[in-house]
Amino acid sequence: MKTSELSRLSNANISSTMNQQSNASRTIFQRIIDREIPAKIEYEDEWCMVIHDIQPQAPVHLLIVPKRVIARVADASAADEGLLGHLIVTAGMVAKKLNLERGFRLVINNGPDACESVPHVHVHLLAKRQMGWPPG
């Protein structure tokens, strides 16, 4: 093999390895937002995406996911206030669009005791079933 071919193959392997490492460090939500993983999208704007949960816990179970990663609410700062508020307003708008007038529940999990499964803040919108109280 010529040196130029070895160099090209080596660079391709390095690039492939870097992409694999990059994908490994990105959350599933980042990969959905980037359209690398398919999802049923209910709504999208410049700040967030609303997708159907693949393991629904209610007849309607949507996830409102910010496009900018905030690992969890406990890691949020004052600079995240507008984005976090936008998630709640978006949940209300989508609920109205889906005629969820009988009610819906919003849930944000933070940490292992709250069953946080993806380190990327997201709001669960659950509806179309009677919710219990207290939750959990």
**Which residues form the catalytic set?**
122
- Cβ neighbour number for residue 135 with a 10 Å cutoff: 8
Query: Which string of b and e fits 12-38 if b means at least 16 CB within 10 Å?
Result: eeeeeeeeeeeeeeeeebbebbeeeee
- SS3 track for 20-66: HHHHHHCCHHHHHHCCCCCCCEEEECCCEEEEECCCCCCCEEEEEEE
CB neighbours of residue 104 within 10 Å: 20
Contacts with 67 (C-beta within 8 Å, 6 or more apart), sequence order: 33, 46, 47, 48, 49
